[in-house]
Amino acid sequence: MLSKKTVMRILLIAILIIPFSNLFSQKVIDTLETEDGTMILYSNRTWTYLEDVNFDGVMNEYLYGQVISDTSLHYTQTWDKDLCYTSDLQNDVNELKDTIWMCVQDSIHDNFVIPFDGVVTSRFGWRRGKNHNGIDIDLVTGDTVRAAWSGKIRYAKYNTGGFGNLVVIRHFNGLETFYAHLSNHLVVPNQIVIAGEPIGLGGNTGHSRGSHLHFEVRFYDMPLNPERIIDFKKNEVLDENLLVHRGMFRSGGGSSTAHSSGSSNGKYYRVRSGDTLGAIARRNRTSVSRLCQLNGIRPTTVLQIGRNIRVR
């Protein structure tokens, strides 16, 4: 049995060592002062900025400090260049009881630029039995795809889950954007980009039939309908203020939790006029309580016609 003092000592050592473990995993051969900060050069010819070694992924201190990490909302969002979703399935839209204000157009960080000016060929929402978590824009392989807002590249590599070559940017406004099916990346993780900067070339990689850009906007891993934020005809944001609330995550139908919509084999039912939870449960050989559990609703919730509810 370890004494309390020993445990505290081990914890303290762990706290001191863990942040620097990246530094020790490869041999540091030199450091270089650059205008972007101190650069660390490793023996295997890779490099990183000193500030990136301990970067915690928080791009918006206001949002994280006053909204996300407050006692009512326990959303997580780590900084991981190997996982396209970083919240570890924890972020549940039903925790979102208040409306969160964020700015999607300000001259300091977040001027918006359309990622690609092309015809929208598929919208967010229900499609072929599952949720389409983004919007598809037609392009020709090799066309330049641009950062929608300024931010920091979190992920830039081939994704085996269907996205193909994927770039994920974490933005100063608190959102993340996904750019999928690219033929090539033009950026690397931890790179700062400004709105409109080229980040990749359009393509047809991953689960894609024909060259197009699959573009997603996510709030703490939960997909939002890009058309609730962006006018794809005018190529500008609908409003400089974005009010994020629980209802926004349901407009596309399907599951309201972060990932099940994209990756699970959940079965959904579209509510029709006259439907009740009891009738839907009977028809799908399940129970009302199970439906409530799957959809984060109560037995007394009024069902909106056209809404997709998860039945399995």
Q: Which stretch binds Zn ion (CB under 5 A): 73-81, 158-166, 170-178, 210-218?
A: 210-218
Residue in this structure with the two tokens 């972020």, named with its chain if needed: 91
Min CB(197)–Zn ion separation in Å: 22
Closest CA to 89 of 79, 100, 76: 76
Q: Is position 146 an interface residue for Zn ion (rule: CB under 5 A)?
A: no
Q: Which is nearer to Zn ion, 136 or 197 (CB)?
A: 136
CB of 224 to Zn ion, least distance (A): 14
Question: For residues 136 and 221, which CB has a smaller minimum distance to Zn ion in the complex?
Answer: 136
Contacts of 46 (CB under 8 A, 6+ apart): 26
Q: Supply the DSSP string of 104-147, one letter for each residue.
A: S--SSS-----S--S-EEE-SEEETTEEE-SEEEE--TT-EEE-
Helices of type H across the chain: 4-17, 21-25, 50-53, 61-62, 260-263, 277-283, 288-295
Span interacting with Zn ion, options 105-113, 129-137, 144-152, 276-284, rule CB under 5 A: 129-137
Chain mean position to CA 97: 20
Which residue, 136 or 176, is less far from Zn ion as judged by CB? 136
The interface region with Zn ion, picked from 187-195, 206-214, 247-255, 286-294 by CB under 5 A, is 206-214
Whichever of 251 and 293 has its CB closer to Zn ion, that residue is 251
Residue 214 is a binding residue for Zn ion (CB under 5 A)? yes
User: Any contact of residue 136 with Zn ion (CB under 5 A)?
Assistant: yes
Nearest approach, Cβ of residue 18 and Zn ion (Å) = 38
- Answer yes or no whether residue 176 interacts with Zn ion by CB under 5 A: no
**What Å distances lie between residue 190 and 57, 89, 106, 231, CA to CA?**
10, 23, 22, 29
User: Which CB sits closer to Zn ion, 214 or 218?
Assistant: 214
- Asked if residue 180 lies in contact with residue 166, where contact means CB atoms within 8 angstroms, the answer is yes
Dihedral angle of Cα 302, 303, 309, 312, to the nearest 10 degrees: 60
- Judged by CB under 5 A, the stretch of 96-104, 169-177, 214-222, 277-285 that binds Zn ion is 214-222
- C-beta of 175 vs 277, nearer to Zn ion: 175
CB of 136 to Zn ion, least distance (A): 4
Residue 181 found at the interface with Zn ion (CB under 5 A): no
Nearer Cβ to Zn ion, position 68 or 135? 135
Q: Which has the closest alpha carbon to 293: 312, 308, 270, 280?
A: 312
Positions in the binding site for Zn ion (CB under 5 A): 136, 214
